[in-house]
Structure 1
Amino acid sequence: MKGVLPIKGASAASGREKKARKELENVLNQYFGYSGFRGKQLEAIEAVLSGRDCFCLMPTGGGKSMCYQIPALVRTGIVLVISPLIGEWTRQFSENQVASLKNKGIPAEFLSSTQTSHTKQTIHEDLDSGKPSLKLLYVTPELVATPGFMAKLKKLYHRGLLGLIAIDEAHCISTWGHDFRPSYRKLSSLRKQFPDIPLLALTATAVPKVQKDVISSLCLQNPVILRASFNRPNIFYEVRYKDLLDDVYSDISNLLKSSGNVCSIIYCLERAACDDLSMHLSQQGVSSAAYHAGLNSKVRSSVLDDWLSSRTQVVVATVAFGMESGRAGRDQQPSRSVLYYGLDDRRRMEFILRNTKTKKSQSSSSSNELSEKALVDFSQIVDYCESSSCRRKKIIESFGEKVQPTLCQRSCDACKHPNLVSSHLEELHRAPNCRFNKISPVFQSSLVNPAHLDTEFWNREDEASISAEDISDSDDGNEVVSNMAISKIPSNAVLDAKFKALERAENAYYQGKGQTKQQGGGLVDKKSISQALRDACWKRLLDALGQAKLRLGNLPCDEAASATHLETECFKKYEKVGKTFYNSQIAATVRWLSSATSNQMHDRFHTLIDQATDHGVSRSPDIVSTY
């Protein structure tokens, strides 16, 4: 009986595959110094090299860029990389990535409206040459949509010089994605214009519905679909409850100091909080800088450069910096993601989202559906914060991935310290300010609709008057606020109206509800305004006044007395309410000081000025310690 003969064709094919993979690994090692591919990288590379379309879902830090950089090195033609500019961060990240590729001997360029005329001309001349030297060209979706650039791409295509089109942040094409961008919708024409060029769609965030929408919108033809695990084992996840902390700023400062001189990002929801917290950290000896849309591009670029080069340890930023916990640990080193959660933050966001849902339900079913999605997404975040179960499991399951019970390995606070987390949640639920089943009507009693004003937690100016290639706050919450925006009001008028509306709303609310429940004649300790907190806030106000003096050249009255006057105002208004509103009002006052004119300062402190004129004295900051 004859034995089974080997299939020579299959054996030869297997041999060719091994040889091809070995060659790819050699290229990887030669240019990037890695010994092997990670996750789904090799499968994605092989798919596009074989001419297949590919949808690749990888977590942040999973090495998506390698999926198009390696093909650029092993095949003829130019690889076009389409990526959105979400503020200075992504702009400089793209520029740094291009610079890094050039240092490795890989011809790459970044082309956008932000480039100098000379740089753009040099790139265009290379593209028009008989044999372009470029291997990788990074562009924005806005540029691809222009007739002039599309004509240039067609010329490259007909000359056989367009090898691959990679679409980074592909979730931006889906209206169901958290970061929908209309400019991405125009990329649907790429398949029609370049029918035999493989398309590679890459994203780090896409639930099944978004994935389906991306594939359909880009007209991907029988694509290879690759999904890497979203588990980031090197990140420790933790939630800290602001309502249970004496001073959030001090807690953040202590956290940074205890972690050593590590590179860090702190995200805030409002510009003034960025400035205030950055100032506080600097005073505590932590090298930090604020980053937000209120700073000019030169300052933002300088801050980012200092941070990337380790001259600055901490960047305190708005979502203009790209808000992702996944930014931690991209170097595969142990990292931490700490979320500071407050009940007032939750109630304000609930109010904004539900108010928007009510408005959109009257416009169209699709708008109402998106509003419903925003509420569902928000409820997932609340559940992440207010649950005692594994944080890692919740994050991974939100992407539709099944999770084994043993996956976490005590790498989140809920798994490492379950009793402590449960205790904190019980204490949070007992807090007198907690009303989980309804939204606090703190804004509803106001004569001014708060949806038409900048709140302490959201700054609509981050979205206003910004080009498609400038800073863009791109999460659902900001889109909601942007849709609710009214005609731009002069900044001083906005600030004045904001103060008055907030004060009226809060006063009406607490008059209607009565005094906060007390224990032993005073607020629960965790909610009371401690003397240490008052001293710290007085110092913050004093520093803000010092900055105002530098800006204006002089102040109408003594800085220390003015700080005492402002702190006393805040304390008297919110003594019975507790530290949450007190802290919020202090932060709002610091922001007012950063933009107030000399006349506004004079009006605010006229009583204090009159006292100083009549008696030749000013109140000592020691008065703060008498309360």
Structure 2
Amino acid sequence: MATSNKERAMKEAINKTAQEMYPELNLSEDQVEAIGAVIRGSDTIVNLPVGSGKSLIFHLLPDAVDEAEIIFCHPEALLCCKSGSDTLTSLSGRVGVICIDECHKIEEWGKEFRKSFSDIHMLRSFFPCVPMLCLSGSLTSELMKNLPTLLGLKKPKIISRNPDVRNVFLEVRLKEKGSAQEIYEEIFIKEIMSLKSLKTLYPVTLLFLPLQYMSYAMRYAFKMFPDVKLSDSLFCALFSNQDADVVNTILSDLKKESPQFRLVFTTSVIGMGFDSPSVSRIIHAKPPRSMTSYLQEIGRAGRRGQDASATLYFNKSDIASNLPGIETDIVQYCMSETCLRSNLLKAFCYEKSESSPVGCKCCSICKRSCDCLSCK
């Protein structure tokens, strides 16, 4: 009984803190449970779908834990130089929580271009008794199993929810034959012509393109919309190392309920920390290397609960087994002859639920055999 009362008091305190910071906010049970677990000193893995408010958890923690401060830092600054090591040593006894956002990137990036991600576990040697909070929206069953070893977690509390994006129709399309440029041109020209026809009625769309073809897409768009400027354009491009003012202008607009920009050519650079509730369509002109990345990116659609769609174009060269970093799960998804939603969820150790869409509302595979009144 005492434990129950203590738990209830903690939850009330967490909700009160949240209300004081954000009066219109109502925390979910998952958010409250995660904050409570960290306060109790438990290593915690939070794996909640994109849009569930994961980032809010660590933003609230400083006020929930003795009004502490947040130190934002990338691993290279702490683990690759003496000054970083000195900083960690100076923080001994003063750190309450170690938070790792987007923790699904640790294994992938640690193997590839940012080696220091594979050394994050070294933080344990500096702060052996400090709870570690790991946040993600797309941990596969394999990553969930590996994460405790990768980070040295001690019997972590796991808070996870089915990542089914129920309002997003899933579709895969085999690309037409031709040269690489012809294939990509066919995809982006179709969307640009639709934008030209529909203008502001064109649904807000993120079109993921390889960077080398983005310039071709923008050139064609300018040809179809001559003399257009950023201030009145219906299309734009987002990619790494872009002018900061341009990026801020685009991101600010996309946060509006009805943005000016309707067609956004982009790379995976916006996969993390990007929030635009108006996006209704996600188009991938090429598959990402894993289902983790794919789930992260299609989770940007339908954030207001509106009907949305995610279309993935592929050909056999896009999912060849000799491609560096290609994961089996994305290959299986592209080649699937059964329900795409089931295949997506299987990669994350979940199944379709009773509330999952069926037939023509589910995916392009299920739509083939749908016998609803609309499909007859």
- TM-score of the aligned structures, taking structure 2 as reference length: 0.74
Q: Which residue in the other structure is 2:267 paired with?
A: 318
- Looking at structure 2, the residues matched to 402 and 24 of structure 1 have their Cα atoms a distance apart, in angstroms, of 32
> Map of 1:109-508 to 2, 5 A cutoff?
135-145=69-79, 146-158=81-93, 161-174=94-107, 181-240=114-173, 242-243=175-176, 248-249=187-188, 251-253=190-192, 257=198, 260=201, 262-273=203-214, 275-276=216-217, 279-280=220-221, 283=224, 287-293=234-240, 295=242, 299-300=246-247, 303-308=250-255, 310-322=259-271, 324-330=297-303, 332-341=304-313, 345-351=314-320, 353-354=321-322, 374=326, 376-384=328-336, 387=337, 389-404=338-353, 407-410=356-359, 411-414=361-364, 417-419=367-369
Q: CA deviation at 1:420?
A: 8.2
Q: CA deviation at 1:415?
A: 7.0
Distance 1:299 1:20, change over 3 A: closer
Task: Provide the secondary structure at the position in 1 that maps to 2:96.
Answer: strand
> Map of 1:548-567 to 2, 5 A cutoff?
none
Q: Is the 8 A contact 2:31 2:54 kept in 1?
A: yes
Larger of the two Rg values belongs to structure? 1
Q: Which runs of 5+ in 2 are unaligned?
A: 178-182, 272-292, 372-376
> Map of 1:44-63 to 2, 5 A cutoff?
44-63=34-53
- Looking at structure 2, the residues matched to 178 and 281 of structure 1 have their Cα atoms a distance apart, in angstroms, of 39
Q: Is the 8 A contact 1:408 1:415 kept in 2?
A: no
Q: CA deviation at 1:63?
A: 1.4
Q: Is the 8 A contact 1:269 1:318 kept in 2?
A: yes
Distance 1:313 1:272, change over 3 A: same
Q: Structure 1 stretches (4+) deviating beyond 6 angstroms?
A: 176-180
Identical aligned pairs, as a percentage? 22
Q: Is the 8 A contact 2:209 2:266 kept in 1?
A: yes
- Looking at structure 2, the residues matched to 49 and 76 of structure 1 have their Cα atoms a distance apart, in angstroms, of 10
- Map Cα deviations across residues 518-549 of structure 1 (whole Å, 9 max, x no partner): xxxxxxxxxxxxxxxxxxxxxxxxxxxxxxxx
Report how many aligned residue pairs link the two structures. Answer: 329
Q: CA deviation at 1:153?
A: 3.6
The aligned amino acid for 2:317 is R
- Map Cα deviations across residues 564-591 of structure 1 (whole Å, 9 max, x no partner): xxxxxxxxxxxxxxxxxxxxxxxxxxxx
Q: Which residue in the other structure is 2:288 paired with?
A: none
- Map Cα deviations across residues 497-526 of structure 1 (whole Å, 9 max, x no partner): xxxxxxxxxxxxxxxxxxxxxxxxxxxxxx
Distance 1:192 1:393, change over 3 A: same
- Looking at structure 1, the residues matched to 366 and 106 of structure 2 have their Cα atoms a distance apart, in angstroms, of 39
- Looking at structure 2, the residues matched to 305 and 137 of structure 1 have their Cα atoms a distance apart, in angstroms, of 25
Larger % of helix: which? Answer: 1
Q: Is the 8 A contact 1:242 1:340 kept in 2?
A: no
Q: CA deviation at 1:73?
A: 1.0
- Map Cα deviations across residues 590-616 of structure 1 (whole Å, 9 max, x no partner): xxxxxxxxxxxxxxxxxxxxxxxxxxx
The aligned amino acid for 1:19 is A
Segment of structure 1 superposing worse, 40-49 or 332-341:
332-341
- Looking at structure 2, the residues matched to 39 and 235 of structure 1 have their Cα atoms a distance apart, in angstroms, of 24
- Looking at structure 1, the residues matched to 172 and 189 of structure 2 have their Cα atoms a distance apart, in angstroms, of 16
- Looking at structure 2, the residues matched to 162 and 294 of structure 1 have their Cα atoms a distance apart, in angstroms, of 33
- Looking at structure 2, the residues matched to 60 and 136 of structure 1 have their Cα atoms a distance apart, in angstroms, of 22
Q: Is the 8 A contact 1:165 1:199 kept in 2?
A: yes
Q: Is the 8 A contact 1:274 1:317 kept in 2?
A: no
- Map Cα deviations across residues 168-224 of structure 1 (whole Å, 9 max, x no partner): 121222259998842212211111211121111112222222222221121111211
Task: Provide the secondary structure at the position in 1 that maps to 2:46.
Answer: strand
Q: Which runs of 5+ in 1 are unaligned?
A: 1-9, 79-134, 357-370, 422-627
Q: CA deviation at 1:41?
A: 1.6
- Looking at structure 2, the residues matched to 23 and 282 of structure 1 have their Cα atoms a distance apart, in angstroms, of 58
What's the RMSD between the two structures over aligned residues? 3.6
- Looking at structure 2, the residues matched to 242 and 27 of structure 1 have their Cα atoms a distance apart, in angstroms, of 51
Q: CA deviation at 1:289?
A: 1.1
Q: Is the 8 A contact 2:111 2:118 kept in 1?
A: no
The aligned amino acid for 2:56 is M
- TM-score of the aligned structures, taking structure 1 as reference length: 0.46
Matched, 1:25 2:21: no
Distance 1:378 1:413, change over 3 A: closer
The aligned amino acid for 1:137 is I
- Looking at structure 2, the residues matched to 20 and 68 of structure 1 have their Cα atoms a distance apart, in angstroms, of 17
- Looking at structure 2, the residues matched to 14 and 224 of structure 1 have their Cα atoms a distance apart, in angstroms, of 18
- Map Cα deviations across residues 338-362 of structure 1 (whole Å, 9 max, x no partner): 3252xxx5233245x43x5xxxxxx
- Map Cα deviations across residues 282-305 of structure 1 (whole Å, 9 max, x no partner): 836970112335855565555445
- Looking at structure 1, the residues matched to 327 and 102 of structure 2 have their Cα atoms a distance apart, in angstroms, of 23
- Looking at structure 1, the residues matched to 113 and 305 of structure 2 have their Cα atoms a distance apart, in angstroms, of 31
Q: Which residue in the other structure is 1:578 paired with?
A: none
Task: Provide the secondary structure at the position in 2 that maps to 1:327.
Answer: coil
